[in-house]
Amino acid sequence: MEYFTLEEDRSSVYTGHIEGTHKWGLPGILRCPGCQVGWSGGAKSYPSVDLTPVAALADFEEPRAEPFEEYERLCALVRPLLPPGALVEPGAEFGPLVGKAQGRFGPLVALNPWVLLMQRETLEKLQAEGLRGLKGCRTELRFRQRNSPELLELEILPVGRLHPDCLPTGRRPPCPRCGREGLTLPDDRLLDAATLPAHLDLFRLEDFSTVIVCTRRFVDTCRRLGLDGVAFQPLPVK
């Protein structure tokens, strides 16, 4: 199986621009009692998750850092609402993408390296081709124009990891309390074949959640159907 990263196409003719954030989120942590580090990720997002059943909803509305015990308390409230396979981390986000949008959008839209949107028609075409793991979620984007497209955000689960050969030697294991690995994304990336899912054509890496990965089947289908707006770069596997 061949794999590719999915990234913004900087040569694209599309002018679409979005300013938005997800409706809710976990706080970052001020200081982990295990690794003594304060941090927030934020690349793991689950737009299908509705937090309105949570009584203390206001605790998820303001980005901030909290003591580790408070972060753990809020995680416990969220976990029963997560989809199968979801992983949480400090700064994880939930609910629809809320904000403003304008301009001309392509069939696929890379809002940033870790958020992918599609026009509804695009998603339906890809699902009709049998591509696996494509779950579109509604957004709450306000367009400053008529005839605006319906953009859906893809909920992309974290699965798979980079191979140890492309990571620094002598690195520490993940923190047993908060899960932080503290690694910098390498320029030369190598996927670990033993960790890759056989049932998904689109996923994000578990250890580097900003990296969205797709299969050759996904790339070939997009090209055959003329679905553009993003760039694909091959990723070697070992």
Length of the chain: 238
CA dist 71 and 65 (Å) reads 9
State what percent of residues in the chain have pLDDT above 70.
Answer: 100
At 41-76, the pLDDT tens digits run 878 999 999 999 998 899 999 999 999 999 999 999
Q: Model's pTM, two decimal places?
A: 0.94
Q: What does the DSSP assignment read for the chain?
A: --EEEEEE-TT-----EEEEEEEEE--EES--TTT---B-----EETT---TT-TTGGGGTS--EE-HHHHHHHHHHHGGGSPTT----TT-EEEEEEEEEES---SEEEEETTEEEEEHHHHHHHHHTT-SS--EE--EEEESSSS---EEEE---B---B-GGGS-TTPPPPPTTT----PPPPSS--B-GGG--SS-SEEE-SSSTT-EEEEHHHHHHHHHHT--SEEEEEE-B-
User: Residue 120: its pLDDT value, please?
Assistant: 97
User: Residue 200: its pLDDT value, please?
Assistant: 97
pLDDT band of residue 172 (cuts 50, 70, 90) is confident
For the chain, which residues make up each domain, given as ranges?
22-95
pLDDT band of residue 169 (cuts 50, 70, 90) is confident
Beta bridge partners of 140: 98
Q: Which of 91-105, 135-149, 193-207 has the lowest mean pLDDT?
A: 135-149
User: Residue 4: its pLDDT value, please?
Assistant: 98
